[in-house]
Amino acid sequence: MSYQLGPYLAGLIEGDGTILVPSPSSKNTPSVNISFQNLEEVEVFAEYLVSLLGYGTIQPELKANAVILCIRNKSGIIDIVNLINGYFRTPKIVALHKLIDWINGNHEVIENFT
């Protein structure tokens, strides 16, 4: 199953997701977010993804009638990058490359965030 999870997650992120990379001077950490329309079945699917991955949180967005799966922890960010790397086909690949560069250039920050 894991050989199909990477391309599937890459498609979700490219479709309705974001990769947020902090500026070099920032103390913030990166995050990967996937938005889902707030239908009961879709929220259950987002919860299933969190349980399957073993990381991530689900945040309701009441104004947008959506839920967002947020990945912010160190092991989750690194795992997501490993899963999706090589599967992006849209301009969001630039954000993925920025995230990879951030991970490679911020070893001291990575060691300190959970």
Quote the pLDDT of residue 42. Answer: 82
pTM, 2 dp: 0.87
Residue 113 falls within a domain, yes or no?
A: no
Quote the pLDDT of residue 2. Answer: 58
CATH of the domain at 9: 3.10.28.10
Quote the pLDDT of residue 106. Answer: 79
Range of the structural domain that residue 103 is part of: 2-108
Quote the pLDDT of residue 16. Answer: 93
Orientation angle between helical segments 2-16 and 74-84, nearest 10 degrees: 100
Taking the C-alpha atoms of residue 19 and residue 13, their distance in angstroms, rounded to an integer, is: 8
Quote the pLDDT of residue 25. Answer: 78
- Residues in the chain with pLDDT values less than 50: 1
